A and B are shown apart, each in its own frame.
Chain A
């Protein structure tokens, strides 16, 4: 009887009658869930406290608009990347980094006069880019030099010296004080974004080899801030134009 009932009287199968879709903004007006807020709080407080922890002191304010072909903040960063990553690179490969080339656009904030905190490092470099060292030939280095002379901007460099004339022609280009040898292999520290052609920096490829240091730019900067008491970024003559 039961079976018969089920067989003859079962509900027809369900099917999709209507679909309604919308998007709900998580707006300011929504009251935060108290349990969730309380759960987040210790994590939040720890992060804020750590971000506010003082790493170094800046005697002045440094930003990337202050300087024509080289800026104090860019010089400081490129030098810091050299100093923090060269010992790592040398211990792994036996070679020294020849020079550092970064991009001006990668500096996302200024260093303000006063205390430098972990938060400063996150503001300057919010991205997760890592340091890579590309082994490229002198002729590729010359391409990089041409790129810099045409870019007419202060891309951060370290251990590289460049002089251009009023027509933006290269008068002098030195790597660690030496002229560039077309056939020599140079070890150039940059970041993974630029190595992969970012900002039209196409001269890193083809490279003889590339070394991924697994070291984020931000972490190198944080390590550098932690080592110095007061930073001293200056505009110098590493890239200048003779007018």
Chain B
């Protein structure tokens, strides 16, 4: 059994917050608990079929049809679920070479993905190749630090989207990796890369102050961790921003034993997660809300 860590944010509370009904105002009958489930994938890289039996440590894992079964059962359990992808949907199997990403987008639409961000490999058939497949994607592409205004992708992405589930407002925004040096300029053309930290600060300000979101999620294709101090990664982004509850990462194909708890710039705990690659795993993060009056004292517990 996997070891479970338990972190209590508050200095006062020492045990799990009691869920359901004690010590509330006389007007409400009970504490109303709401549960939001966030499911996520990253770097699926055109892996439609499960790995074959002779594929080493990946043998018999993955497969979109099996992922669909799992997602359906989770949604049945909690309809207040969002399904997100952190980019590099394209490239890695002949499906991409044959169909240019059409099947990947069609399947993600059938699985009812709510949003995705854009990875560097999603430019492998150039910005035009990405644009050409957009009619097959029934979900939005969220990216706040690519300026597509001088490309065919102009107006076809959004910096963020607000979802409302069971009355809970969930703000989701995307950040992408610097393309220079990683992707042939002939492929990304006039796509401009903007500073992801500044973009994230702007996004969290809008989502918190203007959209009044209860939960803020960043879809990132920056990569989990680099040793170079200058190279931005998810852990650095988490530590230099505020109001982000979860960063769903990609690019580095990082397999984590469990989501990483990081202190943001205000010293508040948040999560960074990534689930490896090739659709081998599905990330599942459950957020429980209640209307406890004294959250500052009770604190938020994180169980990973």
Residues in chain A within 8 A of chain B (CB atoms): 8-9, 11-28, 30-37, 39-40, 43-44, 46-47, 50-51, 122, 128, 130, 192, 212, 214
Q: Quick check: A40 and B107 within 8 Å, CB to CB?
A: yes
Complex Cα distance, B82 from A45, in Å, reads 32
Q: Quick check: A32 and B303 within 8 Å, CB to CB?
A: no
Contacting residues of chain B (36-76) with chain A, CB-CB under 8 angstroms? 48-50, 60-70, 72
Q: Which residues of B contact A27 (CB under 8 A)?
A: 60-61, 66
Complex Cα distance, B285 from A22, in Å, reads 6
Known: A18-B19, A23-B284, A36-B111. 17 other contacts (CB 8 A): A14-B167, A14-B290, A19-B285, A19-B287, A20-B285, A20-B303, A20-B304, A21-B258, A21-B302, A21-B304, A23-B273, A26-B282, A33-B68, A34-B65, A36-B64, A44-B49, A130-B184
Complex Cα distance, B98 from A50, in Å, reads 9
Q: Which residues of B contact A22 (CB under 8 A)?
A: 2, 258, 284, 304
Q: Quick check: B300 and A33 within 8 Å, CB to CB?
A: no
Q: Which residues of A contact B215 (CB under 8 A)?
A: 16
Q: Quick check: B288 and A18 within 8 Å, CB to CB?
A: yes
Q: Tell me if B245 is interfacial: C-beta within 8 Å of chain A.
A: yes
Report which of A12, A33, A39 forms a contact with B66, defined as CB distance below 8 A. Answer: A33
Complex Cα distance, B26 from A9, in Å, reads 9
Residues in chain B within 8 A of chain A (CB atoms): 2, 16-17, 19, 24-25, 27-28, 32-34, 48-50, 60-70, 72, 91, 94-95, 98-99, 103, 106-107, 110-111, 124, 167-168, 184, 186, 214-215, 245, 256, 258-259, 271, 273, 275, 279-293, 295, 298, 300-304
Q: Which residues of A contact B293 (CB under 8 A)?
A: 12
Query: What are 18 A-B pairs with beta-carbon distances under 8 A?
Result: A11-B291, A12-B291, A14-B34, A14-B167, A15-B292, A16-B215, A18-B301, A21-B258, A26-B67, A28-B61, A32-B66, A36-B68, A37-B65, A39-B110, A44-B48, A47-B95, A128-B124, A192-B184
Q: Quick check: B65 and A32 within 8 Å, CB to CB?
A: yes
Complex Cα distance, B286 from A19, in Å, reads 6
Q: Quick check: B290 and A15 within 8 Å, CB to CB?
A: yes
Known contacts: A15-B289, A43-B103. The answer to whether A26 contacts B245 by CB under 8 A is: no
Residue of B nearest to A27 (CB): B61
Q: Quick check: A18 and B69 within 8 Å, CB to CB?
A: no
Q: Which residues of B contact A9 (CB under 8 A)?
A: 27
Complex Cα distance, B24 from A14, in Å, reads 13
Q: Quick check: B48 and A40 within 8 Å, CB to CB?
A: yes
Q: Quick check: B32 and A11 within 8 Å, CB to CB?
A: yes
Q: Which residues of A contact B275 (CB under 8 A)?
A: 23
Q: Which 5 A-B pairs rank lowest in CB-CB distance, beginning with the nearest? A: A32-B65, A33-B68, A28-B60, A21-B259, A15-B295
Q: Quick check: A21 and B286 within 8 Å, CB to CB?
A: yes
Complex Cα distance, B186 from A130, in Å, reads 13
Q: Nearest Cβ distance between residue B254 and chain A, in whole angstroms?
A: 11
Q: Nearest Cβ distance between residue B190 and chain A, in whole angstroms?
A: 17
Q: Nearest Cβ distance between residue B107 and chain A, in whole angstroms?
A: 7
Report which of A15, A21, A33, A47 forms a contact with B98, defined as CB distance below 8 A. Answer: A47
Q: Quick check: B301 and A46 within 8 Å, CB to CB?
A: no
Q: Which residues of A contact B283 (CB under 8 A)?
A: 21, 23-24
- Residue among A17, A31, A192 with most chain B CB within 10 A: A17
Q: Which residues of B contact A20 (CB under 8 A)?
A: 285-286, 288, 302-304
Q: Quick check: A21 and B63 within 8 Å, CB to CB?
A: no
Q: Nearest Cβ distance between residue A18 and chain B, in whole angstroms?
A: 4
Residue of B nearest to A41 (CB): B65
Q: Quick check: B271 and A19 within 8 Å, CB to CB?
A: yes
Report which of A13, A31, A40, A50 forms a contact with B69, defined as CB distance below 8 A. Answer: A31
Q: Quick check: A24 and B282 within 8 Å, CB to CB?
A: yes
Residue of B nearest to A46 (CB): B98
